[in-house]
Structure 1
Amino acid sequence: MRIHLSSVFVDDQDKALRFYTEVLGFVKKAEVPLGEDRWLTVVSPEDPDGTELLLEPAGHPAVKPYRDALLNDGIPATAFAVDDVHAEFNRLRGLGVRFTQKPMEMGSVTTAVLDDTCGNLIQIVHQA
């Protein structure tokens, strides 16, 4: 068994697609119209057949209180592995990304937390 798909709830799929592709560097994998919304996924260009991230519309009534609670407590919705948190932090800040946590080293793990502009906090992480 392996993880095939994960998701983040987004306020605006077009805005999310731009952020996740143009800023974070993912590539669009699937886009299937579903009424007003789409089945819209992105993947890492380093692993195009790997785990897909669904940019899921946040319209369900349960999503707002869930996301508000995570945001208020500073809890990331998901985490992405990077080779160098400090380099990625500098690259993304140069693109105007807002971080809620600067790079923090905790033993062999380094993390930072960013705002994805679509209603989520995202952690970037590297484990040595």
Structure 2
Amino acid sequence: MRIYVTSVFVDDQEKALRFYTDVLGFVKKHDIPLGGPARWLTVVSPEDPDGTELLLEPSGHPAVQPYKTALVQDRIPATSFAVDDVRAEYDRLRGLGVVFTQEPADMGTVTTAVLDDTCGNLIQIMHSK
């Protein structure tokens, strides 16, 4: 068994697609209309195009907004992405205007930082030492 798709709830799929591709560097994998404004919209790492897909899922369900709000208020990331060097990625993303809620921090065997994805989520980036 392996993870095929995981998701983050986003306030605006088009805005999320721009952020996750143009800023974070993922590539669009699937963009399938579902009727109405919603789409099955996934991105993948360009380093692993057949790997786990990230579904940019609309936040339309009534339970989603309270859930997302609680996570952000408690400073809990919705998901975590691996990078080769957190400090270098932090610098690159800051240069693109990304807002971080946690600067790079060494935490034992990992270094982490947390960013705002502009779509209602906090996202952690991390690398293992």
Instruction: Judge same fold: TM > 0.5, yes or no.
Output: yes
Listed as ranges, the matches of 1:40-59 within 5 Å are: 40-59=41-60
1:107 CA displacement: 1.4
SS state of the match for residue 102, structure 1?
Answer: strand
Alignment correspondent of 1:38: 39
- Find the counterpart in structure 2 of residue 63 from structure 1: 64
Structure 2 residue runs of 5 or longer lacking an equivalent are: none
| Residue 92 in structure 1 maps to residue 93 in structure 2 | yes
Stretches (4+) displaced over 3 A: none
What fraction of aligned residue pairs are identical, expressed as a percent? 77
**CA drift at 1:106:** 1.0
User: What is the alpha-carbon distance in structure 2 between the residues aligned to residue 47 and residue 80 of structure 1?
Assistant: 13
* 1:78 aligns to 2:79 (yes or no): yes
1:73-105 CA distance string (max 9 Å, x none): 000000000000000000000000000000000
- Which residue of structure 1 aligns with residue 123 of structure 2? 122
Residues 38-92 of structure 1 deviation map (CA, whole Å, 9 limit, x = unaligned): 0000000000000000000001000011001000000000000000000000000
Structure 1: how far apart are the matches of 2:74 and 2:115?
14
RMSD: 0.4
TM-score after normalising by structure 2: 0.98
How many aligned residue pairs are there? 128
Secondary structure of the corresponding residue to residue 16 of structure 2: helix
Q: Secondary structure at the match of 2:17?
A: helix
Counterpart of 2:104?
Answer: 103
Residues in 2 aligned to 1:8 and 1:107: alpha-carbon distance in whole angstroms:
27
CA distance in 2, matches of 1:106, 1:100: 16
